[in-house]
Structure 1
Amino acid sequence: METFKTFVQCYVSLAPKEWQIISSKFDSKVYKKGELLLEEDKVCNHLSFLESGLLHFFIWNDGEIKTKFFTEAPYIFTSQRSFNNRIPAKENIQAIENSIVWQVSYKDHQELLKIPVWNTLAQKITQEVQFFTENILEELQNKTAEERYSLLLKNRSDLVKRVPLKYLASYLGITPQSLSRIRRNI
């Protein structure tokens, strides 16, 4: 829980009483490698903090996995559309590595939003995720697969080492064979 507190304090200043209230609403859960944290068509009931591990967000498309993105610890995550609107998720969330997660229920999250510091944190994280999503879309539209892979190597080299090749290829929008060729040429 100390990792979570440090993470939160990167965005907002916390009084001890605020942290006591916030932390009391979260429960810890361990997910094993390969375990699903969320399945598509089910409502996402938690906003979560990834304390350790690595997560894979993906959809099924004609029987194939299409990777949306990865979440590395430490970070907050959820299926935003499903969680906020209380509708079935379109994506799956799977642990690529054994992962420790702190979760708050939708109901408790709504209560926490009444605390100004938590509301500010939620807004800042939402803006950050929106910025990240816009960057991904821009890269997909304007860069070749080789350029996108080079950016991954430059900006997230540890991720490249931890994620299975088939998921990296899917994230880049190419086949595993094409990614192997790109890797040989770099």
Structure 2
Amino acid sequence: MDEIRQLFEAQVSLTDEDWSLFSQKLTPRHFPAKSPVISAGAREDYLSFIQKGMVRYYIPGEDELTFGFSFAGEFMSAYDAFLTRVASRYTIEALSETTLWSISHADLQEVYEGSAMGDRIGRHAAEGLFLKKAKRELALLNESAEERYLNLFSDRPELIHKIPLKYIASYIGITPQALSRIRKRISL
């Protein structure tokens, strides 16, 4: 939980009282690789911080559509379903063994009510999730598939070996065959 506090304190200063109120509401959750954190059709009850592991967001179906990843040190949630209290339209899957620190919707509302810092904590998590979504949408509109591929790993190049290529291809909006051609062209 120290990682979560450090993340928040990089944005806002927290008193021990504020941190205590928030951290008492966090619960650890563990997921083995390839298991759903939340399935399409279920209500999202948690906003979570990834302590260890990584997850992918996808729309299930015959041709699964991967549209996001979250990694250790980041927040994750089916946030639209979390906010609206309706069933998620997509699945979030642990790609590796994953440990989350989660706060329920009800407990987060209590933190918002009980602490001036609560709103800032919630806003920080929401802004991070929004910025990730906006970055992907802009990339799909403004960048080539090759640029999207290269940019995906610019900050975390080690991830290319941890995420199956079919998920990467889906995420950047191309077929696995097209990704193979890009990878071959880049390696020349």
Q: What is the one-letter code of the residue matched to 1:15?
A: T
Distance in 1 between residues matched to 2:153 and 2:108, nearest whole Å: 36
In structure 2, runs of 5+ residues without a counterpart are none
User: Which SS does the other structure have where 1:126 is aligned?
Assistant: helix
Residue 85 (str. 1) matches residue 91 (str. 2): no
Residue 109 (str. 1) matches residue 134 (str. 2): no
User: Which SS does the other structure have where 2:48 is aligned?
Assistant: strand
Q: What is the one-letter code of the residue matched to 1:42?
A: A
Distance in 1 between residues matched to 2:17 and 2:126, nearest whole Å: 24
User: Which SS does the other structure have where 2:64 is aligned?
Assistant: strand
Show the counterpart of 1:51.
51
Q: Alignment RMSD, CA only?
A: 1.3
Q: 1:64 to 1:152 in 2, by over 3 A?
A: same
| Number of aligned positions between the proteins | 185
Aligned 8 A contact 1:58 1:66 in 2: yes
Alignment of 1:1-186 (within 5 A): 1-61=1-61, 63-114=62-113, 115-186=115-186
User: Which SS does the other structure have where 1:137 is aligned?
Assistant: helix
Aligned residues: percent identity? 28
User: TM-score by structure 2 length?
Assistant: 0.93
Q: What is the one-letter code of the residue matched to 1:38?
A: I
Q: What is the one-letter code of the residue matched to 2:80?
A: R
Distance in 1 between residues matched to 2:131 and 2:4, nearest whole Å: 22
User: TM-score by structure 1 length?
Assistant: 0.94
Q: What is the one-letter code of the residue matched to 1:127?
A: E
Distance in 2 between residues matched to 1:69 and 1:85, nearest whole Å: 20
Distance in 1 between residues matched to 2:131 and 2:5, nearest whole Å: 23
User: Which SS does the other structure have where 2:170 is aligned?
Assistant: helix
Aligned 8 A contact 2:37 2:93 in 1: yes
